[in-house]
A and B are shown apart, each in its own frame.
Chain A
Amino acid sequence: MTALTVVRESTAALQQPPPISPEVATRWLVAFLRDEIVERRGMHRAVIGLSGGVDSAVTTYLSSLALGPENVYAFRLPYKTSSPESLADAQLVIDALGVNARTIDISAAVDGYLQFEPDADARRCGNVMARTRMLVLFDQSAKLGALPVGTGNKTERLLGYFTWHADDTPPVNPIGDLFKTQVWALARYLGVPQKLIDKAPSADLEADQTDEGDLGITYARADAILAQMLLGYTDEQLFERGFDAPDVTLVRRRVESTHWKRHLPTTAMLTNTAINEFYLRPVDY
């Protein structure tokens, strides 16, 4: 008898970052931006902090599709230690799309405060820069009658790799439910300049800083772990699926120590009309 072919299930896909159809995601996110900005708020313009990285580039591309490039205002907001390469990479997006662009050096604003804090370490300085950038974006939004559009991706939100009440403050964010690897896939689909897709992601708050260096894990690995962790799989199940214990532990620790960063401030509840506890109204009501 000829032996029968055995058709085996494969677990190889579990080792990979979660898949995405960029075409489906683009269609959905463009509709989201139009509904949120134009139909719900009656606005027609967006302001975006364009860093030279892939997240803000993708957000700028999506916003251009939703509103037209003439209604998108990209702001390059360098500090004196920011990499000149970031400015140049942001310019590639501006040139490709034809969006409105302005560069505002935040060094004087940041140093206006930090001159009184000469001992501030790199992390504190980075946070001041991030918050200053949001100060500028929100003021420009008031000036232009435009809505700030957020650029934080799901991976950095889950790992707590952002400055609270800075990167996460814009009222709408099209890419916040996309892992970093999915943002890269979207960038390729949208035609974001290849240089921005290929370069190592960096917050550019400190010299030679990279995200993956800061985090201690690659985005590809982190996203594959996060995708399954969020579905409820335990560390032991992830080990069984071939993930390394140090990676799983690192990701778990970062997620579980940063839940607070994904919420509004904790408010003491004293009455049975406490806002968002008893008095419950949706954000678009």
Chain B
Amino acid sequence: MAARSNGEHRTARFDVRLVQAKPKKGRYAENLAHTTEVFAQIAADGVPDLIVLPEAAMTGYFLEGAVYDLARSADSFANDLVRAWRSGAGERDVDVCSGFYENDDGTYYNSAIYLHIGRSDHEIVHVHRKMFLPTYGVFDEERFLSRGRRLQVFDTRIGRMAMLICEDLWHAIMPTIAAIKGARVILVPSAAPGRGIEGASELTSITHWREILRASASEHGVYVLYAGLAGFEGGKGMTGSSCIVDPRGTVSVQAPELGACIVSGTIDMREADLARATLPLLGDLNAVLPDLLLDDELPIPKGRT
């Protein structure tokens, strides 16, 4: 059994890097140039399989009407990331996930892209458009942006994944649906303005985030990779704290709350298998889900609108 298992899982372990970016507000070209330098630093230390950047990584998060100045098409943003990678790292394979403001022929989204960059070509594997746009208190996303309509998973050389942007993950149904659709890894580009000073050692919003990340990972036996924006934007400090949460809900590495940095770690799909075998909640959910969804009291539309 041991030999067979080793043979099956030769490529189960993957190197990942999370870039805790601290962009200068609105200076897209400058931030892209800095990302090139970060890619060079990452590559010099050994090219990983996957690099994840935060939400709004090239612009900063709070843009108000300036989002219309700064949004890019997915193709244009992909080309910029590819150029940045090749300038910094040369012709080497890598996958990159990054948040960006997307302009789709005049409709604007808060999006995340997943790219596979080959030695001479690249492929946009998936673009996720943020579905839950926070529009309360300090947040005003839906005033400027349209919401995404679909939560789709996608296949990568690492395994099946989903991207959930910031508040997307605060709704437990989102990682649940992603896991039911087969995601083994959930990528979370985020920009979380910190608040709550009553906690003993960190802002309470950081604690809350970690609870959500851990609960999402352990309930579904998935890796959760959280890339958080850092730096202050008009008095609102982004809480960084980029981290890798393993499928048992353990935070294997976490960045500080302040400042830019690179988080380095690995994910191992054998761990995901073992976690699900030990705590088979996803299997239980799959068995019970039809009964839950057939409940007439649920406000589920009968056809797609």
Binding site for B on A (CB under 8 A): 18-21, 23-25, 27-28, 31-32, 35-36, 39-40, 172, 182, 279-285
Contact = CB atoms under 8 A, between A and B. Distances in A.
A135 B25 CA distance: 30
B298 interface: no
B199 A281 contact: no
A180 to B, nearest CB: 15
Contacts of B259: 31
A28 B66 contact: no
B134 interface: no
B197 A280 contact: no
Contacts of A21: 197-201
A28 B202 CA distance: 9
A13 to B, nearest CB: 10
A31 B232 contact: yes
Nearest to B202: A24
Contact of A285 (B26, B231, B232): B26
A20 B204 CA distance: 11
SS of B interface (majority) = loop
Contacts, number: 64
A32 B65 contact: no
B233 A284 contact: yes
B198 A282 contact: no
A19 B259 CA distance: 26
A280 to B, nearest CB: 4
Interface residues of B, number: 24
Interface in B50-66: 60, 62-66
Instruction: Name the 7 nearest CB pairs between A and B, nearest first.
Output: A280-B64, A35-B232, A280-B65, A19-B198, A283-B234, A284-B25, A284-B234
A105 to B, nearest CB: 34
20 contacts: A18-B198, A21-B197, A21-B198, A21-B200, A24-B197, A24-B200, A24-B203, A28-B197, A28-B237, A31-B258, A32-B232, A32-B235, A39-B231, A281-B64, A281-B65, A282-B233, A283-B234, A284-B60, A285-B26, A285-B63
A183 to B, nearest CB: 12
Given A279-B65, A284-B62, 16 more contacts: A18-B198, A19-B198, A20-B197, A21-B198, A24-B199, A28-B197, A28-B203, A31-B232, A32-B232, A36-B235, A282-B64, A282-B66, A283-B234, A284-B25, A284-B234, A285-B64
